[in-house]
Structure 1
Amino acid sequence: MSKTWKLVGPDGKQYASAVPGTLGGHRCNRIYGRLDCPAALRAIARGGYVTNRVFFSTAEDARAAGYRPCAVCLPGAYTTWKAQQDGVSETWPGRDSLRQLSTRRRHPQNHG
């Protein structure tokens, strides 16, 4: 009998795979990252995390399942994700103008 691993697919459901996952995640926090992530390894060493651990084949599967990248081990992917959550893509040309407008609305000038 061959070994199988439980992975989470893009639909968020677990499935059996003949190949182990390349990324790990936390089911409750909805975060995914590298298997050697220092933050995850610290949590595992403290005895936490393991019961909620899930695995993914790809980052695309993890994102499609509703997980976000880890800021510790995937800082570039996290920055991109965070910018999208803020509603402003880091590559969007009008980003700085929109942020300036947003700042002005929060801190109006006194006229008068």
Structure 2
Amino acid sequence: MGVRTYILLAADGRAYESTEPGAFGGHRRGRIYGRLDCPAALRAIERGGYVVHRVFFADEATALAAGYRPCGVCLRERYRSWKSGVSPNSLRTQGQGR
């Protein structure tokens, strides 16, 4: 039995294989990223159509660099900052992020 690999997106949007699963999930068409346990994403997955557009990121910085925005449900504070024009990266450097 071989090593399991996962397909993640890099900051440039290209897919690559990793032996580590992604820490964040995203929706390619909506360019949104969030936690893997996001209630909105889980509901969409239950309905079926979301899965074909699902992507994964090693970390939040990579999702942001790839041009994805924070989810308004599971990353509410980051989404509000993004919406108001404050970079979610600046929240992390100020100690307010997760």
TM range (shorter): 0.7 to 0.9
TM norm structure 2: 0.84
Residue 14 in structure 1 maps to residue 11 in structure 2: no
1:69 is aligned to 70
RMSD: 1.0
- After the TM superposition, list the runs of 4 or more consecutive aligned residues in structure 1 that deviate by more than 6 angstroms: none
Q: Tell me the amino acid that sits aligned with residue 79 of structure 2.
A: Y
1:44 Cα deviation from its structure 2 partner = 0.5
Whole-angstrom distance in 1 between the partners of 2:57 and 2:51:
15
TM norm structure 1: 0.74
1:48 Cα deviation from its structure 2 partner = 1.6
Return 5+ residue gaps in structure 2 as ranges. 87-98
Greater RCO structure (CA 8 Å; 6+ sep): 2
Whole-angstrom distance in 2 between the partners of 1:84 and 1:17:
32
2:52 is aligned to 51
Q: Tell me the amino acid that sits aligned with residue 36 of structure 1.
A: D
1:34 is aligned to 35
Q: Tell me the amino acid that sits aligned with residue 12 of structure 1.
A: G
